[in-house]
Amino acid sequence: MRILIDRFIELLKWPAAVYMLLSLPAYIRSLYAFNFMSWHYVALAGGVAVFYISRNMSDSAIRSNIQIIAHECTHAFFALLTFHKVTRIRIEGDNSGGHMEFKGRGNWLIVIAPYFFPLFCFLCMLGISVYTWFAPMNLFLNGILGYFVGYHIDTVVSQIHEKQTDLPKVGYKFCLLFLPGANLWALGSILAFNSRGWEGFWLYQRFIRYLNGRNYDEVIQFLSSLF
């Protein structure tokens, strides 16, 4: 099963990259649909601000350790999702990095996951979902989610550089095609969840499909007008 999943994911590598590239206009266009003046988003922005204030006040070694732990845990999360047994997670003592080991060959999704998937945001969203079974959503929860949004943005920006060992494994061309759209997808999904929970998340996915179809029609009409 694990081998079949790895092979299937490998087959999806370049189609996924092309899809993310072609969906970039839709992801950018979708941002105009959010009402950022609503209190849900004001609270979210407040959480982002709190993160950056606390970031500047925290010890750099502690901050680096947390980023490394989150990075390796995201690798491990996707390894488990694709049926790989995680055998070891090691963090270097000098804060220079870490390493996650698992059984099996692996796939590109495991390698690239920390550079677009907001693991802490996802766990926060799950926690909010459990909380809202018993109590209504409130602005404090939006603020907590915003804190982890800030953390995710800061982590992704700080970890994409020429010395990063993961990126050459999947190829810089692939990263250039895939990562911008993948990060905008993650951000848009979180923004949609922030206002309407998982219902908003799924509506956002439908909205992106609608925008992709609309953009495709506009391109076809434009090309037809040329001929």
Q: What is the pLDDT of residues 22-47, one digit of tens each?
A: 999 999 999 999 999 999 999 999 99
Task: Give the pLDDT confidence score for residue 158 in this predicted structure.
Answer: 83
Number of H helices, E strands in the chain: 9, 2
pLDDT band at 90; cut points 50, 70, 90 = confident
**Residue 66 scores a pLDDT above 90:** no
Task: Quote the pLDDT of residue 96.
Answer: 60
Confidence of residue 191 (pLDDT cuts 50, 70, 90): very high
pLDDT score of 162 more than 90: no
CA 169/CA 126 separation, integer angstroms? 31
Q: How much is the mean pLDDT over the chain?
A: 89
Nearest residue to 24 via CA among 174, 181, 187 = 181
What is the rounded CA–CA span in Å between residue 182 and residue 73? 19
Write b or e for each residue in 141-156: b if 16 or more Cβ atoms lie within 10 A of its Cβ, otherwise e. Answer: bbbbbbbbbbbbbbbb
**Predicted confidence (pLDDT) at residue 11 exceeds the cutoff of 90:** yes
In 10 A of CB 187, how many CB atoms?
19
